Structure 1
């Protein structure tokens, strides 16, 4: 079998070194011919021909070629274009799309699987920092850290103010909505702590929930019983605003809602009413709409922490995504099954 030819396709060239360090590139070039050049959507959509860089030092190194004409593997990242019929027609040799990012939904089309192209995602690697962030926020919520910081700054004294109950993480009840990759990692990370875990996921039965260290419950029961509710369900039509007025009303006073999934899963107007009243707290790394309008009440509501998608991979954490992508190319070159393959049917129940 001839060596694979691979190409980077992502929003801009600056993203490639963030994902793939020198060690990862060395591993990649041991199994595939790939250049440093990054194909951007603008370049791929341009009517101007691309001057191909040499892959093997052959005579075509200065020929004007379509940059996708001889590519076996696309190494994609954030901002990669949608891989529709027109684009795929330009890549007749394409065997695999290895996405060094999370969800593949923005770029995949049925045409990929119809052609037999394999698709892989680094969503599993991106799940880890989100789960770590969630663990931190759950524990901080249990200790009432945000409220304590606000009260301390306002009074600048140890006395004269009090935190809402419960205070502390001993016996805390954590409700996990969705046994996704991230939800499962969150439950694993919670195991060493003295907390009770409730899980709502219609695809998980009682036995599987127990194996994850959780008790399977309805969404309403989870809302009633949890001190902290953390959302990890996929963004699907049936999960739109699944945390709505009913579920929020069922939550006890001072319950904290953590959302690192998608803003659309929570009814923003209903949540706003609850937190502005002071009854609930919220830690939101995602919102709907996104970003919120500059005059939205959540910006200044007490007990609310708004962050700009910092839960996912940032900085040196991005290297995990590149390492996973290189591993997938190594497996492909060896004729072995991909470890993180995404199939068409998976899109129905995943982010």
Structure 2
């Protein structure tokens, strides 16, 4: 192990103790000379500028200040930016052009989103939301009564996007008796076989799946990927799940489709976000709406922090970063 690398925290300081509770912070400070009492919100003040000039590693998180060419001109020793959150689209391309490594905790953040999705799929397949409402309105039930619209055996689940989250959802679905379809333009038949899923075009997936779950990135090309035509193609009783980004779904089309009562939805992200208080999404009985909480929350932030601690340990030990960002793929990533 080499001497500790000079480091600097740059993020909203409210997140530091959540990302780096004592066990994480102790491991991090074993390899980085970094002061948890100094968290930069910008790089203009004298203390931050001095730390930036010495830093070989910047650890960022939600609320991090921009890192662009003007910042890099003052960070002559910088070797790596380790982002203790998901997307790194906010990091200027100048960072990559100067050969500075960038890593993120996107894989760690994918874990709770995939878990939320699995729970949503299982509850949707069991029709628990509809049965809950029926139970609430009727104030009783018949013991032993069969509910023919309930059950997960043999359901077809359609996943849009073999992203980090999409792939983890595929892993989580393996123990269950689902047929899993995948639509992703960058996955060929051989890779689909390795993943254990069937490939389908988007239109076919919407027509065949009992449950459709969205895991594609928010790009110009994916805006309103879920549109009125595809919603109309869904089976009666089918369920749409969106934990990706709100812009992938045409909100007006979703409201209209749900208003028919023919399909239902579980939605964690919306367009716009946050929703205006008058949004009809709040009042649709067949929509289960949550406030963008599928990603890391509460104690789950420590998982992202641990991911970055492990990357810092690799960097200090001269090993390659496991979660390094490939700048050539950024154009199709969230």
TM-score bucket of the superposed structures, by smaller chain: over 0.9
For residue 19 of structure 2, what is the aligned residue in structure 1?
Answer: 19
5+ residue gaps, structure 2, are none
Q: Aligned partners of 1:114 and 1:202: how far apart in 2?
A: 28
Structure 1 range deviating more: 205-214 or 69-78:
205-214
CA contact (8 A) 1:143 1:167 kept: yes
For residue 330 of structure 2, what is the aligned residue in structure 1?
Answer: 347
CA contact (8 A) 2:3 2:31 kept: no
Q: Aligned partners of 1:154 and 1:19: how far apart in 2?
A: 43
CA contact (8 A) 1:97 1:118 kept: yes
Q: Aligned partners of 1:126 and 1:76: how far apart in 2?
A: 15
> Offset at 1:2?
5.0
Q: Aligned partners of 1:77 and 1:38: how far apart in 2?
A: 14
Q: Any idea what SS the aligned residue of 2:179 has?
A: strand
For residue 6 of structure 1, what is the aligned residue in structure 2?
Answer: 7
For residue 88 of structure 1, what is the aligned residue in structure 2?
Answer: 72
CA contact (8 A) 1:283 1:306 kept: yes
Q: Any idea what SS the aligned residue of 2:51 has?
A: coil
For residue 224 of structure 1, what is the aligned residue in structure 2?
Answer: 207
Q: Any idea what SS the aligned residue of 2:52 has?
A: coil
Equivalences for residues 153-302 of structure 1 within 5 A: 153-158=136-141, 166-302=149-285
Q: Any idea what SS the aligned residue of 2:120 has?
A: helix
For residue 34 of structure 2, what is the aligned residue in structure 1?
Answer: 34
Matched, 1:151 2:134: yes
Q: Aligned partners of 2:292 and 2:225: how far apart in 1?
A: 21
Runs of 4+, deviation exceeding 4 Å? 162-165
CA contact (8 A) 1:101 1:126 kept: yes
Matched, 1:71 2:52: no
Structure 1 range deviating more: 130-139 or 83-92:
83-92
For residue 56 of structure 1, what is the aligned residue in structure 2?
Answer: none
Q: Any idea what SS the aligned residue of 1:74 has?
A: strand
CA RMSD between the two structures: 1.6
Q: Aligned partners of 2:289 and 2:38: how far apart in 1?
A: 33
Q: Aligned partners of 1:44 and 1:165: how far apart in 2?
A: 61
Q: Any idea what SS the aligned residue of 2:53 has?
A: coil
TM-score (norm 1): 0.91
For each residue in 1:173-197, what CA deviation from the matched residue of structure 2 results, as whole angstroms up to 9, or x when unmatched? 1000000010011011001001100
Q: Any idea what SS the aligned residue of 1:120 has?
A: strand
Q: Aligned partners of 2:191 and 2:235: how far apart in 1?
A: 27
Q: Aligned partners of 1:322 and 1:40: how far apart in 2?
A: 17
For residue 321 of structure 1, what is the aligned residue in structure 2?
Answer: 304
Assess, with a 3 A threshold, how the Cα gap between structure 1 residues 165 and 109 changes in structure 2: closer, same or farther: farther
CA contact (8 A) 1:147 1:163 kept: no
The one of 18, 23, 46 equivalent to 1:49 is 46
CA contact (8 A) 1:165 1:254 kept: no
> Offset at 1:343?
2.0
Q: Aligned partners of 2:276 and 2:198: how far apart in 1?
A: 38
Q: Aligned partners of 1:218 and 1:163: how far apart in 2?
A: 35
> Offset at 1:7?
1.0
> Offset at 1:90?
2.0
Assess, with a 3 A threshold, how the Cα gap between structure 1 residues 157 and 120 changes in structure 2: closer, same or farther: same
Q: How many residues align?
A: 331
CA contact (8 A) 2:8 2:57 kept: yes
Matched, 1:114 2:97: yes
Assess, with a 3 A threshold, how the Cα gap between structure 1 residues 163 and 230 changes in structure 2: closer, same or farther: farther
For each residue in 1:2-56, what CA deviation from the matched residue of structure 2 results, as whole angstroms up to 9, or x when unmatched? 5311111112x22111001211111111111111124343x435xx433x7xxxx
For residue 106 of structure 2, what is the aligned residue in structure 1?
Answer: 123
Q: Aligned partners of 2:275 and 2:309: how far apart in 1?
A: 37
CA contact (8 A) 1:8 1:37 kept: no
Q: Any idea what SS the aligned residue of 2:158 has?
A: strand
CA contact (8 A) 1:164 1:254 kept: no
